[in-house]
Amino acid sequence: KMYSLKPIVSDFDVEKPKNMYVIKEINPREEKADKFLTNLETSLAVGKEGDLGDLEEKQEILLEKLKELKRQLVSLQDGLPLCRKPAQVPQESVFPKDLVINVNPAAIPYSLLLMLKQKRSPLTFTVNFYTHSTVSQLPEEAAEFAKEIAGLSTGSGTKVEVIWKAGMPTNFEVIINPTAVFWGEGNFIRYLTRLGVLEKSQEGDDILVDMSHQLQAIGEDRKEQAKLADRLMGAMRKQKITQSVDFATYSALRNFRNATKSGKVDGVLKEIEGRL
């Protein structure tokens, strides 16, 4: 059962003081808001009268003058015997300066031979051969290669020093300068392509260049090498061949022929030689 409490303080009237006076606000809030809105509406309601209208008229006159000036320039240009084609800057194939190439005699760099034979972008360089102490006897194919290169070298241009050397991690080492060294005949061909010495490569070239490198890298496994040679020749028939692919595949397939004495690659080698 609930119970109720009587209020402690009962309601009572408070008498307001009569000696105070009331001051009205000088700027009532409602009046300020109304004035702001009125000024905003007035500023947005500006038409073409006054300064803005004059500015628009001047802008239109200026644009018309610019259009007229452009028409006059075009008419003057049409009357002059000008060549509208961009100037063609002749591009020369510049072989890198003074290269040193360490080569395993079992992997002859036939790409150098094709570079001297090809006529699409003639290159000028001289090849000198040296034999490292790690090579006791130079294979017959390597000696024939050096003789053929000597007959094609012009005696001028870049000097390329080829050193027959065994016992390297790879068959081909290029020394551009003391701080720039890279491995692989395929990478050397890519390097020349990026320099603009050889024709621009296309999509799919890297796969064929890599297959060419692998064909020489697995030289001791003749069965796998023969299978890879077949795949390489099959892949070559499926796409348009560029210079970089010609040089890389020719070198790999001819070295394969030297090692296996197989004549199944002769047709492809002749096709490549015919494209020079």
The full DSSP string for the chain is: -------SS-----PPPSS------SS-HHHHHHHHHHHHHHHHT--SSHHHHHHHHHHHHHHHHHHHHHHHHHHHHHHS----SPPPPP----PPSSEEEEE-TTS--HHHHHHHH--SS---EEEEEEE-TT-SS--HHHHHHHHHHHHH--S-SEEEEEEE--S-SSSEEEEEETTEEEE-HHHHHHHHHHHTSSPPP-TTHHHHHHHHHHHHHTTT-HHHHHHHHHHHHHHHTTS---HHHHHHHHHHHHHHHHHH---TTHHHHHHHHHT-
Higher pLDDT, 196 or 247: 247
Task: Tell me what the mean pLDDT of segment 93-102 comes to.
Answer: 76
Please give the average per-residue pLDDT across 89-110, as a whole number.
76
Summary mean pLDDT of the chain? 79
Comparison of pLDDT for 116 and 221, the residue scoring more = 116
Helices 110-117 and 243-260 pack at an angle, to 10 degrees, of 130
pLDDT at residue 154 tops 50: yes
Strand partners, 162: 101, 129
**Per-residue pLDDT tens for 60-87?**
887 887 888 777 777 766 655 555 544 4
User: Can you list the domains of the chain with their CATH numbers?
Assistant: 98-275 (1.20.1050)
pLDDT of residue 161: 92
Given this model, what pLDDT does residue 48 score? Answer: 47
Each residue's pLDDT tens digit, 7-34: 666 666 667 666 666 666 666 555 555 5
The pLDDT tens digits of the residues spanning 126-142 come to 889 999 999 999 999 99
Q: Strand order of the sheet with strand 158-164?
A: 125-131, 158-164, 99-103, 172-177, 180-183
Q: What's the pLDDT tens digit per position in 210-268?
A: 999 888 888 778 888 889 999 999 988 888 888 889 999 999 999 998 888 888 899 99
pLDDT exceeds 50 at position 91: no
